[in-house]
Amino acid sequence: MDDPDKYLRNKLYQELQLNVTLPESKLLLSAMLSDGKPLTWWRGIVNETIDPLDIKEHLHLLIKAPEQYQICHDERIFAVLRDETFKILGKPTVPIDVPALLLTLTESFFLQVCLKTS
């Protein structure tokens, strides 16, 4: 496939009868995450009513089995998850690996618990 962006836009137009105006990066991320998703999911993506990356689902998978997460998910998907996690934590994004992200999450959680109990 020479132009995956163009192919996806054409295929989605055929299936949904909607013009896709998503940025290429979001469209390609959606394609990577689309396995097993119904057309209604794609409609939500194209209409921008849902995000392609379900942050809660992916954080749960990452925490539950970090090694498996790294094996099963493309580095670009992890990068989006990492960036979104830093955004939620209110911290600047730092290019860190899975163990470091888990440590950052643990520290943030610990600080929140300590602040609430003190």
pLDDT of residue 114: 84
DSSP letters along 54-86, please?
A: -HHHHHHHHHH-HHHHHHHS-HHHHHHHHHHHH
Give the pLDDT confidence of 15-58 residue by residue, as tens digits: 999 999 999 999 999 999 999 999 999 999 999 999 999 999 99
pLDDT for 111 = 84
Mean pLDDT over residues 71-89, rounded? 94
Q: How many domains does the chain have?
A: 2
64 and 38 in a common domain: no
Side-chain half-sphere exposure of 49, counting CA atoms within 13 A: 6
Instruction: Note whether 42 and 65 are same-domain residues.
Output: no
Residues 87 and 109 in one domain: yes
Tell me the residue range of the domain where 64 lies.
55-117
Looking at the fold, whether 63 and 110 belong to one and the same domain comes out as yes
What pLDDT sits at residue 113?
82
Q: Is the pLDDT of residue 81 over 90?
A: yes
Count the Cβ atoms, other than its own, within 10 Å of residue 45: 24
The per-residue pLDDT of the chain, averaged, comes to 93
62 in the same domain as 24 = no
